[in-house]
Amino acid sequence: MMSGARRVLIVGGVAGGASCAARLRRLDERAEIVVFDRGPYVSFANCGLPYHVGNVIPDEADLLVASADTFRERFRVAVHTETEVVAVDRAARRLTVRALATGTTRDEPYDCLVLAPGAAPIRPPLPGVDLPGVFAVRTIPDTRRIRGWIDEHRARRAVVVGGGFIGLEMVENLVHRDLAVTVLEKLDQVMPPLDPEMAAPVAAELAAHGVGLHLGDGLARIDARDGRLVVVSEQGAELPADLVILAIGVRPENGLATAAGLEIGSRGGIVVDEHMRTSDPHVWAVGDAVEVRDVLTGQETVLPLAGPANRQGRVAAASIAGRERRFRGVQATAVVGVLGVTAASTGASEKGLRRAGVTDFEKVYLHPGHHAGYYPGAKPIHMKLVFSTTDGRVLGAQAVGSEGVEKRIDVIATAIQFGGTVHDLAEAELCYAPQYGAAKDPVNLAGMIAENVLAGDMPVADWERLGEPGTLVVDVREPAEFAAGHVPGAVNVPLGELRRRYDELPRDRELWLCCGVGQRAYYATRFLAQQGRRVRNLSGGFTTYQALRAAGRLR
């Protein structure tokens, strides 16, 4: 140790802890930096674990981003793996650590302490969750055990409990291993962060790939019968399996912090300020273990994602080094790919806003191609944009499709970070060549459609109020499209005949215009509005109707 140098101890050496250690070294060459991790590795790619199970990343060594040696040689950071921190004595500024190989404990004094212990998979206290063959996925040894179990038991069937990000990534990779997979999910949708109608295309894709979906039903217990597992649901369904993956969420590892008397928030995360400093000025905390501010709702939340953990590690390092840097908060930008479909979201969902009691917002749906329609191979992106009706601020966006999905959500995420409005999206200057996008990119279109709503040029109808007395759905698609499927009770007046036939439409009812995706209905809305009719657009058209119906959101 250099004399007078501060001693910085870091608990947890993966996303948040490792980035804090490396950044701190770049800012402070004098500090003594020591990382403890109870696992055998530091700085490994947790996000790659499902793909190792699926043999997409066949070599386990590829999951190791940096080794203890790398940290020592390049950064002069000491790393102690298989060493668990068991207690924090804040008054004495001292940790008690246990070497797991020998069981011996020792004390480690600190000037600054960074807690980056992550979050643990939730194992509900239900019968059978600890049976052999039931796994959670958090570490490299977990994936080793899962791979070994699949091979040794020639596993053919798996049940994945939980249809969120990690659950669906495991589904995809178990399908890659030729297992027949069933998802058991307590909510009546997969991908809980999405609004149900946006998750519906993901569920459809899973079903199309033969994945069994058992939604709206929770886990009751797991039995071992005749050498195999049977997952029993709360409603009594019995799902046989050779292998069960528990992916029902994670909980901040707050044990050390709680025992040390640090402030813990209502969501179970360690409370930190914008500099990632805890209620003790000598202790910082980062990553899945902390609570952070949701920039859209203003509420404290936990967001177990790698991006925030890495950025928070840098912020804590800056703070320890005496530099001014603040963590802005989170907006839940996330993406998952499963069996060819990509689902991404940023900011608030409609259901999240409703839960938070927000009412001054509106939403629009659109289904543009991921690039110009005239260039071969355009694939639809199903998008939903949620925005403030008070000031036009973009509140959130969700998109599902097979190409170009995450690019659009990333653009909108950036706009949200800068406090952007729907007008900013309409005006955004984005890349365009036929094979990549369109002169009006889906992001522009989302902004333009929302602008039309805010300007009163295209009032939108509430899909969930379909069939309301005093309204009539007018479908402006061609007769063959109408015959192939339409909203119940709709009348068909194709857009090309509307100027000639609009007098046929009743004057005493509000006309709700519908088409395939909302565009022709918009043209019809504008025409009829200028004829003095009371009109609304059914945003997203029949495509959105089908998604809402699949999600059970229509009466």
- Whole-Å CA distances, 324 to 39, 186, 315, 327, 331: 32, 44, 9, 10, 22
Smallest gap, in angstroms, from Cβ of residue 169 to ligand FAD?
6
Token pair 């839960």: residue: 355
- Among the listed residues 191, 262, 309, 318, the single contact to ligand FAD using CB under 6 A: 309
Pairing of strands 219-225, 228-233: antiparallel
Find out whether 31 and 93 touch, Cβ atoms under 8 Å.
no
| Closest CB to ligand FAD: residue number | 287
- Select from 296, 292, 276, 294 the least CA-distant residue to 284: 276
Q: Is 486 exposed, middle or buried (0-12, 13-18, 19+ CB in 10 A)?
A: middle
Helices (H), 436-533: 442-454, 479-483, 495-501, 519-530
> Any contact of residue 166 with ligand FAD (CB under 6 A)?
yes
- Among the listed residues 16, 128, 164, 442, the single contact to ligand FAD using CB under 6 A: 16
Q: Closest CB to ligand FAD among 307 and 496?
A: 307
Cα–Cα distance measured from residue 274 to residue 258, given in angstroms and rounded to the nearest whole number: 20
Contacts of 200 (CB under 8 A, 6+ apart): 189, 547, 548, 550, 551
> Any contact of residue 185 with ligand FAD (CB under 6 A)?
no
Cα–Cα distance measured from residue 128 to residue 78, given in angstroms and rounded to the nearest whole number: 40
- Among the listed residues 172, 185, 205, 288, the single contact to ligand FAD using CB under 6 A: 288
Choose the binding region for ligand FAD from 43-51, 105-113, 320-328, 502-510 (rule: CB under 6 A). 43-51
Q: Closest CB to ligand FAD among 39 and 162?
A: 39
| Three-state secondary-structure class, residue 358 | coil
Q: Closest CB to ligand FAD among 47 and 180?
A: 47
Choose the binding region for ligand FAD from 283-291, 483-491, 502-510, 520-528 (rule: CB under 6 A). 283-291
Smallest gap, in angstroms, from Cβ of residue 35 to ligand FAD?
9
Cα–Cα distance measured from residue 100 to residue 81, given in angstroms and rounded to the nearest whole number: 9
- Among the listed residues 5, 306, 472, 554, the single contact to ligand FAD using CB under 6 A: 306
- Select from 127, 130, 133 the least CA-distant residue to 145: 133
Choose the binding region for ligand FAD from 127-135, 185-193, 299-307, 525-533 (rule: CB under 6 A). 299-307
Cα–Cα distance measured from residue 148 to residue 492, given in angstroms and rounded to the nearest whole number: 59
Residues between 485 and 524 that touch ligand FAD (CB under 6 A): none
Q: Closest CB to ligand FAD among 252 and 447?
A: 252
Choose the binding region for ligand FAD from 209-217, 298-306, 408-416, 461-469 (rule: CB under 6 A). 298-306
Smallest gap, in angstroms, from Cβ of residue 525 to ligand FAD?
40
Smallest gap, in angstroms, from Cβ of residue 367 to ligand FAD?
26
Smallest gap, in angstroms, from Cβ of residue 324 to ligand FAD?
23
- Among the listed residues 5, 27, 47, 550, the single contact to ligand FAD using CB under 6 A: 47
Token pair 């509106």: residue: 362
**Cα Rg of the chain (Å, integer):** 27
Smallest gap, in angstroms, from Cβ of residue 552 to ligand FAD?
28
Find out whether 532 and 505 touch, Cβ atoms under 8 Å.
no
- Among the listed residues 10, 23, 31, 46, the single contact to ligand FAD using CB under 6 A: 46
> Any contact of residue 135 with ligand FAD (CB under 6 A)?
no
- Select from 555, 490, 551, 554 the least CA-distant residue to 516: 490
Q: Choose, from 47, 112, 431, 514, the residue flagged as catalytic.
A: 47
- Among the listed residues 22, 79, 114, 137, the single contact to ligand FAD using CB under 6 A: 137
| Three-state secondary-structure class, residue 511 | strand
State the distance between the two ends of the chain, measured CA to CA, in whole angstroms: 69
Pairing of strands 381-388, 491-492: unpaired
Residues between 213 and 272 that touch ligand FAD (CB under 6 A): 253, 256
- Name the helix (H) or strand (E) containing 105: strand 105-109
Instruction: State yes or no: is 20 an active-site residue.
Output: no
- What are the CB-based long-range contacts (under 8 Å, 24+) for 99-103? 100/38
Smallest gap, in angstroms, from Cβ of residue 36 to ligand FAD?
5
Cα–Cα distance measured from residue 229 to residue 166, given in angstroms and rounded to the nearest whole number: 21
> Any contact of residue 14 with ligand FAD (CB under 6 A)?
yes
Helices (H), 218-344: 255-259, 306-320
- Among the listed residues 9, 10, 25, 36, the single contact to ligand FAD using CB under 6 A: 36
Specify the amino acid at residue 526.
Answer: R
Choose the binding region for ligand FAD from 36-44, 156-164, 231-239, 358-366 (rule: CB under 6 A). 36-44
Residues between 49 and 68 that touch ligand FAD (CB under 6 A): 49-50
Binding residues with ligand FAD: total (CB under 6 A) = 32
- For residues 112 to 131, the per-residue mask of contacts with ligand FAD, x marking binding by CB under 6 A and - elsewhere, is ----xxx-------------
Residues in the chain: 555
> Any contact of residue 38 with ligand FAD (CB under 6 A)?
yes
Q: Closest CB to ligand FAD among 146 and 213?
A: 146
- Among the listed residues 52, 93, 138, 382, the single contact to ligand FAD using CB under 6 A: 138
Smallest gap, in angstroms, from Cβ of residue 353 to ligand FAD?
23
- Among the listed residues 84, 291, 362, 441, the single contact to ligand FAD using CB under 6 A: 84
Contacts of 232 (CB under 8 A, 6+ apart): 219, 220, 221, 222, 223, 238, 239
What is residue 541's DSSP assignment? H
> Any contact of residue 540 with ligand FAD (CB under 6 A)?
no
Find out whether 34 and 7 touch, Cβ atoms under 8 Å.
yes
Smallest gap, in angstroms, from Cβ of residue 355 to ligand FAD?
23
Determine the distance from the C-alpha atom of residue 136 to the mean position of all C-alpha atoms in its chain, rounded to a whole number. 19
Catalytic residues: 47
Residues that bind ligand FAD (CB under 6 A): 11-12, 14-17, 36-39, 46-47, 49-50, 84-85, 116-118, 137-138, 166, 253, 256, 287-289, 304-307, 309
